Structure 1
Amino acid sequence: MPLPVAWRRGAANFLPYQMDCAMKLSVFTVVAGLFLLFGGCSGGFRLPDTAPEEERPQKPEANVTWYGEIPCADCRVQKMTFTLFDDSTFRIRQRYEGVSGGGERVTYDTGRWERKKGKLLLMGSARFPLQFRYVSPSKLMMLDQMGNEIVSKLDYSLERRPATDFLAGPMELTGMFSSANGVTRFRECRTGKSYPLVFERPDPSVREQYARLRSSPGSSVLAVLRGRFLMDAGSGGEQVLVQEFGGFLPGRDCSDNSGDARPLENTFWRLLSLKGYDGDLRAAGRQPYLLLKSSDRSVRGFSGCNTLAGAYQLQSTSLSFGRLATSRMACPGGAMALESAFVRALEKTASWRVRGRILELYDSRSKPLMNFEAVSG
């Protein structure tokens, strides 16, 4: 039976349309095949070998300051401020408010920083680096010492500050002291950066000690000091204003102040320098030392003349010694003076810090009292 006229007209209109689509599809298939063929040969369609964040170099921070009020185990709050400089160094201030016994405690540190896979690491004097996760360009979240999330309802976040805080100090610094042609310089151990030194109160005895201890003119001697960072108008960089010179540590260098920090307890600590004492540390034939035993919180040691024993209290960075008993052996005058200064400094001790193999003791105003070297442990 013949098809209706309308159907024959529809079929006639449909056939050209069908042929047109088939031709377009064929052309597309040929072009796509050639594109894949030559693209594949040129390597243009290979999947990336690395994750995007590892493939792209991290944009360096340029003098960026971060601030947060971090929960604290032995204080009301820890106000943490740190600044990342564009040369991969940092400074940090940790202000502990409402510490045991009242008041506050402020510590500073320096070091180097780096970014890895969305994390920020601050490598300073502590045994483990401080670690943070980038939440956004303006927010960080503090991680635990192993780089894991802190499981807590408390707030461990830090916010980016709109203005740079250069955290000038004052702070305790350890580095290599040198002087040549009337110019005194200080290469700070943690960052490796070198600064001109300016003394708040000129002290000729520092240069005299340096001249006796240096191995050759212009050579460096390890030293500890308390100072502030100031802008040097002449160079446009920074200089260190020395407010208190702690002393020289001859025969040592920055390697003694780096690496894994020795534990405070169960380590044999030998005295290196004692603030305000310029005599011989071996007046009785050997240097004073301390050993803090964690098993019973007892301390024993040698004071420069007699043996000593007593107890100590330790909480985080706070350290104090109870009544210390010494034997009653008579010693030469120099040894007696050393013992008196040593015991007096122990009685003033309020906090501590270990930098590598060096133990630093401070008074209640965070001023340095003594430095020790780890001999064992």
Structure 2
Amino acid sequence: MRRQFFWITLIGLVFAGCQAHRTLSRTETDESGLALHHSQNSLDWAGVYRGVVPCADCEGIQTELVLSTDMTYQLATRYRGKDQTVFRSEGTFSWDETGSTVMLKDARHPDETTRYKVGEQVLIQLDRQGDVVQGPLANHYRLTKEQPVITEKYWKLVELNGQKIGPGENQRREAHLILKEVDKHVVGSSGCNSFHGTYELSEGNRIRFSQLASTKVACPDMDTERALFQVLELADNYSLNGDTLFLNKARMAPLARFEAVYFQ
């Protein structure tokens, strides 16, 4: 009797295990059979990706690709060993039916599609047929996601005290700043004069600029310069949203807004 009970219990456990396995399998796909967990909905894919991919007639194609959550992209490429020309394109992108590959559509060339397979902190450039490139150079078709930092980037000034800043006729250069890692130096231009100084970063996105100095060229319009230098003196914290940097004072409205420009 005990033996019979043992076998009945064992068969019941096996049956329950099979049912659980089938239930688990069903939760891994939706009704159409597609995976529920894929790159599109399980990875933090938005951001800036950089790398140097192979080139048939140059030293390599320096590539920077920005994927935004609004399904738009910006792509910049430079052919190493040729000249310093930067080729830029932008447009929208979509995901393939598996949720693992993004397909870029250039706004100027809608018939052309560039595909990247999306992985953890990496994009893998695919060939024209949408397949992974094979051969000895296969591992070089990779763009690595850049971690969010504010140093060693060219930050173009686009808004100051709530007013948009555009390329003025009287500007010698566009207004910008760069936070250099070496010696914690800040360098840039107000649109008229070049400036330099030091900065300090601390916990809680705190920032302080000090020892600011500039050249003394007189320009027809000095308002932007005066306002920018005042902002740099007042700012005590920053916030970062993708390729946008805000300089703030306490919890007030942002004093200035900058956008990252690559290959500068």
Radius of gyration: which is bigger? 1
> Larger relative CO (CA 8 A, sep 6+): 1 or 2?
2
Structure-1-length-normalised TM-score: 0.34
Structure-2-length-normalised TM-score: 0.47
